[in-house]
Amino acid sequence: MSDEKDLTFYNLKERKWLTRLDRGSIVGHTSSNNTNIWFRFKKKGNYLLIISKRSLKQDVLKELKKVENKYVIFRKSIKKEVSLIYTKEIYVDGNTDFTAMFNTFEDDLVQLLENTIYYYGAYNLDDNCWEIGIENSHFFKTMPENKITKSWDITFGLYSCHMPFDPKDKSKADASMWDLMEKELTFSDAKFVIGGGDQVYCDGVDYLNIWKWLKKVKKDKPTIEHMYSWYRDIYRGYWGFPGVKAIHRKLWLRYEF
């Protein structure tokens, strides 16, 4: 039996997060006919990633089924197949902290239309249930073709230095500006957002300080894998707020650190 201590932060109760990202998605670079989307799941398993022309909201869908090597879903209200533009089976394990990506740039079979809204989600093939995309609408909009004219304009969002936590009070955090920004970006039909500066802080809040933890456990010789878990925990804590997730899941994101 190994004497090595478990110094990981995965779901550690002592970490004073008011909310912790278990599952979610981030829309990455999106062009006029392609997209790149990141997923995080709660546990390892087999999942189906989906892009659809129709909403994947829970109140209009039945169980997903496989018919003749093709996945299909039907609306509850009418017996009609929901059009699936893209499906990809993946296996997710703990080596990437239960994360996965799909990138239509690398798949010549995917044909997305420019300036068009598409819905996406993820289905748990092991538990036979929807994982992402039905509680809230998860969607992205492809960019218009590159036709710049004198009347051409574009709206995008910019934010920096995401620090919602009270540095002294572990029970307080304020992420309300994210809800306001999401409404404004939606109203303005923003095409994307840019995250500038630090989006998480490994030492910005004393009671969440990774460096203090490193000093405390240095004698136990933490491994690189342990340290990975510390930073993954930081991201899960900072990006777990509903308003943050709402922006990430529908406006393609570019981070500048």
- What confidence score (pLDDT) does residue 81 get? 64
Q: By the 8 A CB rule, do 157 and 185 touch?
A: yes
Q: By the 8 A CB rule, do 134 and 62 touch?
A: no
- What confidence score (pLDDT) does residue 170 get? 83
In the chain, where are the structural domains located?
A: 31-142, 149-257
The SS3 assignment for 58 reads helix
Q: By the 8 A CB rule, do 8 and 210 touch?
A: no
- What confidence score (pLDDT) does residue 37 get? 93
Residue 139 CA to residue 136 CA, distance in Å, equals: 9
- What confidence score (pLDDT) does residue 119 get? 92
- State the Rg of the chain over Cα: 20
pTM value?
A: 0.86
- What confidence score (pLDDT) does residue 41 get? 95
Q: In terms of DSSP H, where are the helices of the chain? A: 176-187, 210-217, 224-238, 242-248
Q: Assess if CATH 2.102.10.10 describes domain 31-142.
A: no
Given a cut of 70, the residues of the chain with pLDDT beneath it are 1-4, 58-63, 74-83, 109, 147-152, 253-257
